Chain A
Amino acid sequence: MTTRDLVLIALFAALTAALALFPPIALPLTGVPITAQSMGPMLAGAILGMRRGGLSQVLFLLLVMVGLPLLSGGRGGFGVFPGVTGGFLISWPIAAVVIGLLWRRLGSGIVGQVLAVAVGGIGVVYLIGTPWMAVVLGWSIDAGFAAMLPFLPGDIIKALLTVAIARGVARAYPLR
């Protein structure tokens, strides 16, 4: 880890926090609001790669844990982890690692990159977050996944935006 790596990790932890400041957008069909914050792990994995990206999300969760109100809606502190969204938050470092790994493995084609962000940023996040949510609410796992369906279009849009941004950034300012 060079000093530059440390600065980049800190930067993307803060960027994930700053994404909470964008107002939620209500989806036209379902009315379920989507927040920009879950783009944090997607951008971190795609731009920083698996090691720095994953650590940036660990650091972000650490800042949330110590009580800073950095989550969308101004939430923070230990109390968010036993809650409904706890599993989604825990999944973010793993999502960033998976995205960083697949982004490198699947080559520089746009299809591979979309796949990398979708598998890590949607697949991993839903697989960890949804059972957690279902347990907290006392629902069946199936009911949990059904409840997640309205969020899918928004998350697909976020994955596509992430790929567009990461490609543009890589072209303008390539990171090693």
Chain B
Amino acid sequence: MIFDSYRSGDSVLHRMAPGPKLLSLCVLGTLLFFFDEIWLAATAFAAVSMLYPLAGFGPAVILAQLRPVFWVFVLIVAAQLLFGDAAFGVVLALRLAALVLLAALVTLTTRSSEIVDALIRTLAFLRPLGVNPARVGLTISLALRFLPVLARITGEVREAQHARGHGGNPVATAIPTTVRTLKMAHEIAEAIEARGFDD
């Protein structure tokens, strides 16, 4: 994996299988939206925050997860102070904070590759519908390999535009770039088939 948000550790949460972790995230996340009581949202927030020390993360990690959504909290509370009741704003903010923290905790304690593997295993149930998990896995691996390639091509295009004094026509650069990557995709497909990967 090139980069992911995983932080190594040896806690109960790190050792837990990715499947149950993802399932509990979905269930808890959905349940939270059915209740508007403030005590429930506060309990959920407190409970999720207490899972962080359990995974070996300090308060700094919790704050780092909440920082990107800080302005959302401001918007929520401001809107409720202006148009609604402040208590409901607090419920919304606590609920969002609990959800974001819980979701981030799954990401922090699970390697991307583990999540991908769990998803591919789950897809085996779709085999009767014509889904081939091995081909899904190949597509995911290809996309991961394309990420740095496309990032490099994008960088080259930006440099080229910069060298032309920002006056470059974006369409005039995008068309050859897209055609170039489509040709690359065609060659890669031929190479994969030449090596006997088929269903």
The answer to the question of A128 belonging to the interface, with a C-beta cut-off of 8 Å to chain B, is: no
Q: A18-B153, A137-B75, A169-B178 are in contact. Are A78 and B146 (CB under 8 A)?
A: no
Write out the residue numbers on chain A whose beta carbons fall within 8 Å of the beta carbon of B183.
Answer: 173
Q: Provide the bound-state CA to CA distance between A8 and B149, in Å.
A: 14
Q: A14-B143, A66-B112, A67-B6 are in contact. Are A2 and B150 (CB under 8 A)?
A: no
A43-79 at interface with B (beta carbon < 8 Å): 43, 47, 59-60, 62-63, 65-70, 73, 75-79
Partner of B147, one of A18, A67, A84, A136: A18
A7-24 at interface with B (beta carbon < 8 Å): 7-11, 13-15, 17-19, 21-22
Please state if B4 and A66 are interface contacts (CB–CB under 8 Å). Answer: yes
The answer to the question of B192 belonging to the interface, with a C-beta cut-off of 8 Å to chain A, is: yes
Write out the residue numbers on chain B whose beta carbons fall within 8 Å of the beta carbon of A73.
Answer: 68
Please state if B115 and A1 are interface contacts (CB–CB under 8 Å). Answer: no
Measured CB to CB, the closest approach of chain B to A85, in angstroms, equals 10
Which residue in chain B gives the minimum CB-CB distance to A167? Answer: B175
B42-70 at interface with A (beta carbon < 8 Å): 65, 68-69
Q: Provide the bound-state CA to CA distance between A143 and B92, in Å.
A: 17
Write out the residue numbers on chain A whose beta carbons fall within 8 Å of the beta carbon of B83.
Answer: 139-140
Write out the residue numbers on chain B whose beta carbons fall within 8 Å of the beta carbon of A4.
Answer: 185-186, 189
Measured CB to CB, the closest approach of chain B to A167, in angstroms, equals 9
Write out the residue numbers on chain A whose beta carbons fall within 8 Å of the beta carbon of B80.
Answer: 138
Measured CB to CB, the closest approach of chain B to A142, in angstroms, equals 11
Q: Provide the bound-state CA to CA distance between A2 and B150, in Å.
A: 22
Please state if A173 and B182 are interface contacts (CB–CB under 8 Å). Answer: yes
Please state if B158 and A7 are interface contacts (CB–CB under 8 Å). Answer: no
Please state if B103 and A82 are interface contacts (CB–CB under 8 Å). Answer: yes
Measured CB to CB, the closest approach of chain B to A39, in angstroms, equals 9
Please state if B104 and A63 are interface contacts (CB–CB under 8 Å). Answer: no
Measured CB to CB, the closest approach of chain A to B183, in angstroms, equals 7
What range describes how many residues of A lie at the interface? 35 or more
Q: Provide the bound-state CA to CA distance between A66 and B138, in Å.
A: 16
Please state if A138 and B89 are interface contacts (CB–CB under 8 Å). Answer: yes
Q: A6-B135, A76-B5 are in contact. Are A22 and B182 (CB under 8 A)?
A: no
Please state if B139 and A6 are interface contacts (CB–CB under 8 Å). Answer: yes
Write out the residue numbers on chain A whose beta carbons fall within 8 Å of the beta carbon of B40.
Answer: none
Q: Provide the bound-state CA to CA distance between A10 and B135, in Å.
A: 11
Write out the residue numbers on chain B whose beta carbons fall within 8 Å of the beta carbon of A29.
Answer: none
Partner of A83, one of B96, B110, B144, B182: B96
Q: Provide the bound-state CA to CA distance between A13 and B146, in Å.
A: 9
25 A–B contacts, CB within 8 A, in A order: A2-B189, A6-B139, A6-B142, A8-B182, A14-B146, A15-B150, A17-B150, A19-B154, A21-B151, A43-B178, A47-B178, A62-B119, A65-B115, A69-B5, A70-B147, A76-B107, A79-B100, A82-B100, A84-B72, A84-B75, A164-B171, A165-B175, A168-B175, A169-B175, A172-B176
